[in-house]
Amino acid sequence: MIHLFAVALGGALGAVARYWVSGWLNNAEHPIPVGTLSVNVLGSFLMGVCFVLILEKARLSPELRPLVMVGFLGAFTTFSTFSLETVAMISEGHIMSALIYISLSVLLCIAALGAGLWLTRLF
């Protein structure tokens, strides 16, 4: 039961953090949704860091994994918003922006997760 509360608490905090960060960074002048891209890249990096810290190095409390990795980072990053924004760009005729956004999202998030794993294992 404690795991459910950990996920709920992490989810609430992650959702608020995503709302704040993406709202701060999204700007109508950008051809792609920079806020969503940023939270997904940052969240991927943090997932790599947390994976190493919680499961490999620090061996922290088992409640931390659902709190941070499922709750906080699950709510902080958002594939559904990415999908909606991509479809909106395509339907508005911004095909090139959509392709750039898809490419950046996939490549940067994978690279960020790898960087998080590598940097955390390094130190």
Annotated binding site for Na(+): 74, 77
Q: How many domains are there within the chain? A: 1
Residue 29 lies in a domain: no
Answer whether 0.85 is exceeded by the pTM.
no
Any domain includes 7: yes
CB count within 10 Å of CB 121 equals: 14
Read off the pLDDT band of 81 (50, 70, 90). confident
Q: Which two tokens stand for residue 16?
A: 């608020």
The CA-based angle 99-104-109, given to 5 degrees, is: 140
Say how far residue 51 (Cα) sits from the centre of its chain: 14
Instruction: List binding-site positions.
Output: 74, 77
CA distance 24 to 7: 25
> Three-class SS of residue 18?
helix
Establish if 27 belongs to a structural domain: no
Encode pLDDT of 34-54 as tens digits: 999 999 999 999 999 998 988
**Rounded to whole angstroms, how far apart are CA atoms 109 and 44?**
5
Residue 109 domain-assigned (yes or no): yes
The parent domain of residue 78 ranges over 2-22+34-122
pLDDT tens-digit map of 83-101: 989 999 999 999 999 999 9
In a domain, 71, yes or no: yes
